[in-house]
Structure 1
Amino acid sequence: MVFLRYTFVSFLLIDTIIGAYFPINRQGWTATADSFQDGNEPSKAIDGNANTFWHSRYNPDDPLPNSITIDMKQSFSVNGVSYQPRQDGSGNGRIGQHRIELSADGQSWGQPVAIGTYVNDATTKRTTFIARSARYVRITALSEAQGANNPWTSAAEINVFTEANYRSRSGWSGIWLNTVDIPIVPAAAANLPNGKVLLWSAYRIDDFGGGTGQTQTAVYDPTTGEVTQRLVTNNQHDMFCPGISMDFNGRIVVTGGNDEQKTTIYDPTSDQWVAGADMKISRGYQSTTTTSNGRVFNIGGSWSGGEGGKNGEIYDPSANQWSLVQNALVSPMLTNDRAGVYRSDNHAWLFGWKGQSVFQAGPSKAMNWYTTTGTGGVQGAGLRSTSQDAMNGNAVMYDAVAGRILTVGGAQHYQAAQATADAYNITIGNPGTTPQVAKTASMSFARGFANAVVLPDGTTFVAGGQSWVEPFTDTTAALVPELWNPATGAWTQLNPMAIPRTYHSIALLLPDATVLVGGGGLCGGCGTNHWDAETFVPPYLLNADGSRKARPVIQTVAQTVRLGASLAITTGGQVRSFSLVRLGTATHTVNTDQRRVPLTPSGSGTSYTVTIPSDAGVALPGYWFLFAIDNNGTPSIAKTIKVTT
């Protein structure tokens, strides 16, 4: 096993950290378990012999859950645990769903440092998390790995890892809550109306290839910590490197990729993947965006299906039909990538806007307005100020009412290039008009392959990426997230993450106003696959000592509301404002679904009314998180509502 050393740049008010990960010498350790079979004692999991193993009792059965507790005899700064299943050819007892906990005294355990599900194979699983001081480590198996129905648990070897020079940091800069182990390497993700997160990789759980007709998927439930896995084959669609959009009914429309002409739709109401009509143009690495009349506009994508000519087309979900938009030409939005059109039409920054128009903010330095009706059209919108091309950067509509978009990072070429730390503030008005563009403060870290998430208070959270962009590497990884404040234009550095998130990583806002950041890699035996995600708690949820703030509560609100209508909300106490954040979809740095609508309430005490914008190009119909924000700037847990036409 190879362990990488990452050196972080020292930053204001937060300690310099050297991320050096070492297995701790297990000499003198002891292990106890709540169940074991004679001859398969818990000590066998820490004896250095992979041919022996701990096994829960099977004569008679001692049903799951089963736990093993390791006493390291002294405290260490623990930042990881590895689990090796039994190596005798049997899959009995392989751990599936699990949780990992740490303790200083073996009595008080606190919140798990890791939850999730391990993949069902004999390989060693490594879970990494933010370092914490502990003497005891407890692993609890909640289920056998997927496909097995035995009530048993086994482990050949368990190792614990330490991070040198770790120091705890203050709560104001946010905290990483836990690691979620996922049985795939998630390169794509989508929020679901029920609060869960849909994730997928490619035809394999850890690698990609061409046109295999199947996709490995998973669903994570942030409330329970459960991660379930499913292989999708019925639509003959390998959904790696797709375009993704959420339609007005919360369905996830996935287009192209490895099977470059296919359309597949995930229906959250039935929890089923269903086939859509084939596209007119084969594509991979394209971008799609939902327009103000509910159709899905699609452009670019020369990664698969041939190079060049990937002009616009549009999908009507109600008719299940694609139509060419002949004059929505891709050529004005190309970057000047050294690899040519194979890379230069990738990952467009698209925003569905008023009158069925689409604004393209990048990654090319040239911005454009696209007309999606009839035969369509494209009109130049000028340059993005002093910005160069910014492939694999990010764009976020943080205030849809004002038409404001933040763009950050990216590089002039898709790979083997220096990323930028530059950021720009774009304000768009009526379709076809020239937007206002102003350079805002630069990030502290140059980033390509990062992810950006708009938060309920209008700030933008940027995590991951690397300063020298190169797929399937974690070198030059930026592990320090940053938070942009639109009121000041300034960036704040936040607590570092434990795991690099570079090419093929994802990030999404969760209903409790935290952020899920995960994935990276998906390259077989490349050594940079990340089978996990981390949950970040932003500073607005924390007191100075790192404890949780009291939060406002939305007690009652309608589940649906029409455009332009009033929405009555009752709360548990006085609040200052409300905001809507549309559920997001993320892959390859692109999330064209997320946007934020600030709402100014009338009323007081515990009874308020807000008015939904009347333009479907602003408050794009579909599912949104509704947050209440109190006078301290702390958001509530969201209620999910559907905005309708």
Structure 2
Amino acid sequence: KVYYDAGGQVFNPFGQSVDEALWNQAAVYDPAAKSWTTLGVPGFPGTAPGFRGSTFSIALPLSPPYVAAQFLSAGGIVGTTPGTYLATRDSRITTIETSSGDKMSSSIVTGPLNNARWYSTGVLLPDGTVFAVSGADRDEVDFPGSGMPVHQAEIFNPATNQWTAVASERHDRTYHNSAVLLPTGQVLVGGHAPINTGYGSPSTLPGGYSNNFRDATLEIYNPPYLFFGGQRPVISAVSTPHLRYGRTLTISTSSAGSVSKVMLVRNSAFTHLTDADQRALELPIVGRTGSSITVQTPPSANVAPFGPYMLFIDASSANGLVPSVAAQVYVTD
């Protein structure tokens, strides 16, 4: 998986070489120069440095002045194929300083996952936390059908660097599961397309092992902020749905006084644990009235490439941020 960082470069937290021995090296790609620069081994020193197979990774929200990009990676197996087989609870954040020539300034180990997870899906929520769901406790490509499904989801809080266990899904969703953020702030979870057990015929092993048959069902997860009480903030109008670089946007809302954050979240484009367009950024609030707030739009395509985004406003509450239902907007030149 690769990301555009805030400097317009492409960051690959898991390496770029066809030689597996070098997959441990993180790298940055410069589209203008058409060249890669090796940055080092993420997570070194640490409990699980370097490459992790079938992990998930999330670009955390960019914050003004957009000079650093952070990437959360958690779970998976340690090492290249066949790796450790058993999944890890390891979780880390790698920081790229775009103001310093895209230097990998740190790679810190966070609090561990509550559950060792292989092939889980991560979803960035509009309050800036990260939701992890589905997967198995071991590598079901090494030995299909041998994993125990991980039903319990969990949420990462960047403010504390800790994972918290939350609700459990009802279906086994180990291999080829999906999850995407909805404009309502809920998460749509679905899918499960496993490899036949032992690369033979489809069969579910007894004893609680994962379902070895395809599952096309869907579930909806309601994050904790939907239960904080009180009314959610409401976006009644935006001054324009077309956000041009370096300008301002006015958002009409009766909750203007309680809004503390405005989030721009790229629409999902998801497959195989990877949201190829995944990106979110906080827009600075530069003005406020009793019925509206004004924010600064992204400064350039390096920070927010052209395309569709969901615009959320987050209101403060005693329990944490409460996001609105999103307004659909488009970043353009």
Query: TM-score, normalising length from structure 2?
Result: 0.82
- Rounded to whole Å, the distance in 2 between the matches of 1:425 and 1:371 is 22
Q: Which runs of 4+ in 1 moved over 6 A?
A: none
Per-residue displacement from partner, 1:118-175 (whole Å, max 9, x unpaired)?
Answer: xxxxxxxxxxxxxxxxxxxxxxxxxxxxxxxxxxxxxxxxxxxxxxxxxxxxxxxxxx
User: Which of 618, 627, 636 is matched with 2:303 structurally?
Assistant: 618
State the Cα distance separating 1:627 from its structure 2 match.
0.5
State the Cα distance separating 1:353 from its structure 2 match.
2.9
Q: Which residue of 2 aligns with 1:516?
A: 188
1:578 maps onto 2:230 in alignment:
no
Residue pair 1:399, 1:405 contacting (<8 A) in 2 also: no
Q: Which residue of 1 aligns with 2:28?
A: 369
Gaps of 5+ in 2: 16-22, 203-211
Which amino acid in structure 2 is aligned with residue 379 of structure 1? T
1:428 maps onto 2:96 in alignment:
yes
Q: Which residue of 1 aligns with 2:330?
A: 642
Q: Which residue of 1 aligns with 2:20?
A: none
Match of 1:417, SS? coil
State the Cα distance separating 1:435 from its structure 2 match.
3.3
Q: Which residue of 2 aligns with 1:281?
A: none
Q: Which residue of 2 aligns with 1:382?
A: 40
- Rounded to whole Å, the distance in 1 between the matches of 2:235 and 2:131 is 24
Matches within 5 A, 1:391-406: 391-401=53-63, 402-406=68-72
Match of 2:219, SS? strand
Closer, same or farther: CA 644–474 of 1 in aligned 2, 3 Å: farther
1:497 maps onto 2:138 in alignment:
no
State the Cα distance separating 1:474 from its structure 2 match.
7.0
Per-residue displacement from partner, 1:417-462 (whole Å, max 9, x unpaired)?
Answer: 1111111112212244233211111101111110000001110000
Q: Which residue of 1 aligns with 2:234?
A: 553
User: Which of 518, 525, 529 is matched with 2:214 structurally?
Assistant: 529
Q: Which residue of 1 aligns with 2:3?
A: 351
State the Cα distance separating 1:476 from its structure 2 match.
1.6
Per-residue displacement from partner, 1:265-288 (whole Å, max 9, x unpaired)?
Answer: xxxxxxxxxxxxxxxxxxxxxxxx
State the Cα distance separating 1:528 from its structure 2 match.
2.5
1:440 maps onto 2:110 in alignment:
yes
Match of 1:495, SS? strand
Aligned-CA RMSD value: 2.0
User: Which of 499, 506, 514 is matched with 2:178 structurally?
Assistant: 506
State the Cα distance separating 1:605 from its structure 2 match.
2.5
Gaps of 5+ in 1: 1-348
Q: Which residue of 2 aligns with 1:587?
A: 271
Match of 1:399, SS? coil
Query: TM-score, normalising length from structure 1?
Result: 0.43
State the Cα distance separating 1:414 from its structure 2 match.
4.9
Closer, same or farther: CA 414–551 of 1 in aligned 2, 3 Å: farther
Q: Which residue of 2 aligns with 1:89?
A: none
Closer, same or farther: CA 590–492 of 1 in aligned 2, 3 Å: same
Residue pair 2:11, 2:29 contacting (<8 A) in 1 also: yes
State the Cα distance separating 1:556 from its structure 2 match.
0.6
- Rounded to whole Å, the distance in 1 between the matches of 2:329 and 2:175 is 32
Closer, same or farther: CA 591–435 of 1 in aligned 2, 3 Å: farther
State the Cα distance separating 1:600 from its structure 2 match.
3.1
State the Cα distance separating 1:355 from its structure 2 match.
5.5
- Rounded to whole Å, the distance in 2 between the matches of 1:436 and 1:382 is 10
Residue pair 2:28, 2:102 contacting (<8 A) in 1 also: yes
- Rounded to whole Å, the distance in 2 between the matches of 1:636 and 1:474 is 41
Residue pair 1:356, 1:373 contacting (<8 A) in 2 also: no
Match of 1:370, SS? strand
Identity of aligned residues (%): 30
Match of 2:113, SS? coil
Residue pair 2:145, 2:194 contacting (<8 A) in 1 also: no
Closer, same or farther: CA 604–469 of 1 in aligned 2, 3 Å: farther
Closer, same or farther: CA 570–529 of 1 in aligned 2, 3 Å: same
Per-residue displacement from partner, 1:223-273 (whole Å, max 9, x unpaired)?
Answer: xxxxxxxxxxxxxxxxxxxxxxxxxxxxxxxxxxxxxxxxxxxxxxxxxxx
- Rounded to whole Å, the distance in 2 between the matches of 1:439 and 1:418 is 19
Residue pair 2:14, 2:50 contacting (<8 A) in 1 also: no
1:459 maps onto 2:129 in alignment:
yes
Which amino acid in structure 2 is aligned with residue 640 of structure 1? Q
1:485 maps onto 2:157 in alignment:
yes
Which amino acid in structure 1 is aligned with residue 138 of structure 2? W
RCO comparison, higher one (Cα < 8 Å, 6+): 2
Per-residue displacement from partner, 1:79-128 (whole Å, max 9, x unpaired)?
Answer: xxxxxxxxxxxxxxxxxxxxxxxxxxxxxxxxxxxxxxxxxxxxxxxxxx
State the Cα distance separating 1:549 from its structure 2 match.
4.6
Residue pair 1:473, 1:502 contacting (<8 A) in 2 also: no
Which amino acid in structure 2 is aligned with residue 477 of structure 1? P
